[in-house]
Structure 1
């Protein structure tokens, strides 16, 4: 029968046979801590690297300055676009996301932008815009002297889900062809409403949606169809021949 001293000795021998059993939990905690610190360090390094990428990589426009993190670029018509990169939105949106402001003559706009190869998504575009900004984007064959209030929830161009939803309301002003005499135009409302498969477009005098100057639609595939009505042609002769016209194109 073992002596009283033998049992503690056997227990001690058993413990000594697995010397790693006590420090293994500590070692696992240290490993996780090292991984966490390494991940944070890598994230900081990548963020710093991205922050130094020139702005012209994101906005290939003449005069783009700054970096991908915070940059700016001039826009035709005398406006200036400025952006601040949003890392979290870029991650969740799988693209380059940024908070954008545009300022210039009669223009003070804010929006959220998401850029992917071949597509662009604008959300919550709000503020005021002069016609110069619209002309810089759409390149129309006429010029206007008027101001607009912008409230667009969504504009998607390119990719497989094109469309828009929101309103642009213009004040009374003057418009005309380049080099031609301008004519007075009334206050108007440009409404676009997203429906399944198509964004429905309506341009009409303010408060008179049922008297459209232009109606049409944009499909998710990018097919744009517009009809200038006879009333629209009479009010905006710089836009259409008498009697109206149809326009079909692809974005």
Structure 2
């Protein structure tokens, strides 16, 4: 039988495995190059185009924005963490007079997750974040392990301690002195339990409530809370129900 030169050359070729390895390496390096190029393009997107905060400056990779007249937030994109967690992940800091906070953030459509947030903050930062009907002058120590808003697993875990200070309702009322307080949030299955009380007196709460996994927030200002924090409640206490 006559030999088939093309078949023999194919079977006996000693460089075929080497060519396959070369092709795989070429594909890998090409893919890495394309990924780096796309990341570099993404990193140059101006922050004001994607940030939910007004007056943002810088880029999506490294930007900042004012929270109020005194405090400012800054972020640095964490691309590897973003890929691993399927969202926009960043290392975040907040700085201002008596404010120095650092933590991590993860943004997905309709969801914000904060974790490992710790440091000090002033009352102005609290007002900038939750927009209450009053302003406070006090210093806080924050240790927030987790806060998830949006999605199907909303909840929180952490604690806040404040020094004695004063708060004032908007509208011209005189300021009211407030004691040192402790806010504790404990995550249980399906519910984050909230307790605000004078420091060292958790069994006489000013505010109790919970945040469930669907984002329903219920708070009860007790009679003791209404007396200690009259700028935040009607006399005798009140109940607040809302959805985050």
For the pair 1:55 / 2:83, whether they are aligned, the reply is no
Whether the 8 Å CA contact 1:95–1:114 is kept in 2: the answer is yes
Shift of the alpha carbon at 1:15? Answer: 7.9
Aligned to 1:146: 138
Aligned counterpart in structure 2 of residue 160 of structure 1, from 131, 152, 160: 152
Residues in 1 aligned to 2:193 and 2:66: alpha-carbon distance in whole angstroms: 32
Instruction: State how far apart, in whole Å, the 2-side matches of 1:194 and 1:124 are.
Output: 15
- Note the 1:33-48 alignment, pairs <5 A: 33-48=25-40
User: 2 CA distance for matches of 1:132 and 1:159?
Assistant: 29
Cα gap change, 1:15 to 1:72, in 2 (>3 Å)? same
Q: State the 1:104 CA deviation.
A: 0.9
Q: Runs of 4 or more off by more than 6 Å in structure 1?
A: 13-16
Q: Distance in 1 between matches of 2:227 and 2:190?
A: 32
Tell me if the contact between 1:229 and 1:243 (Cα under 8 Å) persists in the aligned partners: yes
Shift of 1:37: 1.4
Matched with 2:190 is 197
Residue aligning to 2:206: 213
Note if 1:113 corresponds to 2:105.
yes
Render the CA deviation track for 1:153-179: whole Å, top value 9, x for unaligned: 000111111110000111000112122
1:1-251 mapped onto 2 (5 Å cutoff): 17-20=7-10, 21-178=13-170, 179-251=172-244
8 A contact 1:148–1:169 mirrored in 2: yes
- 1:144 and 1:77 map into 2 onto residues whose CA distance is 15
Contact 1:109 1:126 in 2 (8 A): yes
Partner of 1:7: none
> Displacement of 1:60 after TM fit?
3.3
| 1:59-107 deviations in Å (ceiling 9; x for gaps) | 1333211111111111124211110101111111111000000101211
How many residues align? The count is: 240
**TM-score, normalization: structure 2?**
0.94
> In terms of Rg, which structure is larger?
1
Identify which range, 124-133 or 61-70, moves more after superposition. Answer: 61-70
Q: Which runs of 5+ in 1 are unaligned?
A: 1-12
**Alpha-carbon distance in structure 1 between the residues aligned to 2:18 and 2:4:** 21
Two-structure CA RMSD over aligned residues (Å): 1.5
**Contact residue 75 and residue 133 of structure 1 kept, 8 A:** yes
Segments of structure 2 that go 5 or more residues without pairing to the other structure are none
Q: Which moved more, 1:16-25 or 1:201-210?
A: 16-25
SS at the partner of 2:129? helix
